[in-house]
Amino acid sequence: MLDIEQLKALHAAVDEGTFDAAARKLHVTPSAISQRIKALEVSVGRVLVQRTKPIRVTDSGREVLRLARQIDALTQDVVRELGLGDADGAMARISIAVNADSLSTWVLRVLASFTTEVSFDFHLDDQDHTTELLRDGSVMAAITSVATPIQGCTSSLLGIMRYRPMASASFCERWFSDGVTAEALSKAPVVVFNRKDLLQDRYLGRKVGLLVDPPRHFVPATADFADAVRLGYGWGLLPDLQSLETPGTLVGFDPEYVDDVPLYWQQWKLSSPILARISLAVAARANELLHQLSP
């Protein structure tokens, strides 16, 4: 049987980054945090954290940390349902992994109505990688392109985020005046979100059919990415939800090409009323905004 206070100590130490900060959060001494985590490690027979600054959870510690976070989430739910209040005056804390395009174009608006009762902790990552944060217990839910549910989670389709190759009119006139040819695509600068962003390379692979490496501008912020394309830094694939907001400032230079990225909502299998309400709100809004699969 795992000790609740020891699990709390692990949770706080990883979230806060140091034993001192965890001690302040739990109103105990740093020595007490250290002793509880050591006792927990003895109980499970594994090293759970690396005592660095900040503290890092080990592979074995991830499973225990996920349990600690699930227990904390359920405890918060019970406190709210019984109207007992929170001793620290804190709101429920919900951690969600989400891709940057979804966060900036629709997710923030959806969840704004919950901000009087929920403190959100958003973790940004590419939609192909957000499940890693779910797997290691860093988040309670994730918007992901991975359909297969992570162990201990449920998965449901939200819809499709549709991307199209876009550029400014002046950029197209300069680089694609003779058409979107293999030669043009091998030389025309491209805007890329980060090193995990494969949308542009996927387009190049399908259109050119060989390895090309045009000049790249890395712009790791969704709004700034779109601005860089509008300003003529290069071409890039933009979601319809973003490019259609300002018609006339961008040109779809290859209208026959679309890249449909399916998005799924994965979350812990918890009987949590607040998480269930968030899930329903996200699904409802996604159904309104995202492209839906044909039956």
pLDDT digits (tens, 9 = 90+) for 18-62: 999 999 989 999 999 999 999 999 988 889 989 988 888 888 888
* SS3 state at 266: strand
Residues facing 192 on adjacent strands: 218
Provide φ and ψ at 105, rounded to 5°: -95, -25
Torsion of CA 268, 270, 272, 276, to 10 degrees: 50
* Residue-averaged pLDDT of the chain: 89
pTM value is 0.78
> How does residue 85 score in pLDDT terms, banded at 50, 70 and 90?
low
Residue 112 DSSP one-character state = G
Residues facing 160 on adjacent strands: 262, 291
Asked if 14 and 137 count as a contact pair (C-beta separation under 8 A), the reply is: no
Asked if 102 and 261 count as a contact pair (C-beta separation under 8 A), the reply is: no
Output helix, strand, coil percentages for the chain, rounded to the nearest 5.
45, 20, 35
* Token pair 């740093």: residue: 30
Average pLDDT in the 156-161 region?
96
Asked, colleague to colleague, whether 1-64 and 161-260 share their fold, the answer is: no
Residue 251 pLDDT > 60:
yes
**Higher-confidence residue: 117 or 188?**
188
Asked if 236 and 165 count as a contact pair (C-beta separation under 8 A), the reply is: yes
> How does residue 112 score in pLDDT terms, banded at 50, 70 and 90?
very high
218 CB-near residues (< 8 Å, 6+ apart): 192, 193, 194, 195
Determine the CATH number of domain 1-64. 1.10.10.10
Q: Does domain 161-260 have CATH number 1.25.40.10?
A: no
Residue 83 pLDDT > 70:
no
pLDDT digit string, tens, across residues 19-31: 999 999 899 999 9
Domain parsing of the chain, residue ranges = 1-64, 161-260
